[in-house]
Amino acid sequence: MQKRVGVLALQGAFREHRQVLNQLGCEAVEVRKKNDLEGIHGLIIPGGESTTIGKLLQIDELGERIKEMGSKDFPIFGTCAGMILLSKTIIDSDQYRLNLMDTTVERNAFGRQVASFETDLQVPAMGSHPLRAVFIRAPYLREVAPNVGILAEFDGKIVFARQGNLLASAFHPELTPDHRVHQYFLGMIDEYWVK
Ligand code: GLN
């Protein structure tokens, strides 16, 4: 199946995701309004500033449409700010969110001094070779419901998780040449569309 994958392009690191998707042979569609959601097979919500993206999602109810699709098993992958927007609970914040994952997220969770760093993550679902992960003022999941699968932890903190059709990473897989995370998400798209 030739996949068309949407990348929410309101703010943040959407171009890099588009490039990875193209390298993996997919068509990438920049999503800025409700019409852009038509005909796509999955959606990536990039890193950026979750409060800004949240404000822009409320224009013309774009966020409500995405929320409706996500609640009907449509594949969505949120990275960093995207992880924050997917979570139902955001510690100490009443900012707009898509409210889809049964997760409690803490923003800017790795402290100000080491706000950005790179590390090797063990992600058993993606093989034994560690995954290089770039964290930029990253969140982490402080709590997840039993129906959420933990894909990776760093320093005892959950940084990568999946709940059915929803995937969330605290790090930026679009910034490294290893495309296993995007490939994994494309596998989720296949699961949904190729039945
Ligand atoms: N700290 C940002 C936020 O809270 C997320 C950072 C990122 O997406 N790289 O929205």
pLDDT at 111 over 90: no
Mean pLDDT throughout 108-125?
Answer: 88
- Domains of the chain (ranges, CATH numbers): 4-194 (3.40.50.880)
Q: Which atom of ligand 1 is nearest to the CA of 46?
A: 8
Q: Reply yes or no on whether 68 is catalytic.
A: no
Local confidence band at 194 (pLDDT 50, 70, 90 cut-offs) = confident
Of 57, 33, 23, 73, nearest to 174 (Cα)?
23
The whole-number pLDDT of residue 115 equals 83
Decide: 136 in ligand 1 pocket, CB within 6 A.
yes
**Does 137 appear as a known binding residue?**
yes
With vertex at residue 105, the alpha carbon angle to CA 101 and CA 186, rounded to the nearest 5 degrees, is 45
The residues, any chain, with a CB within 8 Å of residue 132's CB and separated by 6 or more, are 118, 119, 120, 121, 176, 178
- What's the pLDDT tens digit per position in 37-91? 999 999 999 999 999 999 999 999 999 999 999 999 999 999 999 999 999 999 9
**Does 158 appear as a known binding residue?**
no
pLDDT at 112 over 70: no
Of 26, 80, 106, 182, catalytic: 80
Q: Calculate the average pLDDT of the chain.
A: 96
Straight-line distance from the first to the last Cα atom of the chain, in angstroms, rounded to the nearest whole number = 12
**Does 49 appear as a known binding residue?**
yes
pLDDT at 137 over 90: yes
Decide: 137 in ligand 1 pocket, CB within 6 A.
yes
Mean pLDDT throughout 116-130?
Answer: 96
Percent of the chain exceeding pLDDT 70 equals: 98
DSSP, residue by residue, 70-126: HHTT--EEEETHHHHHHEEEETT--------EEEEEESSTT-STT-EEEEEE--GGG
Decide: 57 in ligand 1 pocket, CB within 6 A.
no
pLDDT at 113 over 70: no
Query: Residue 121 has which token pair?
Result: 């993550």
Q: Reply yes or no on whether 182 is catalytic.
A: no
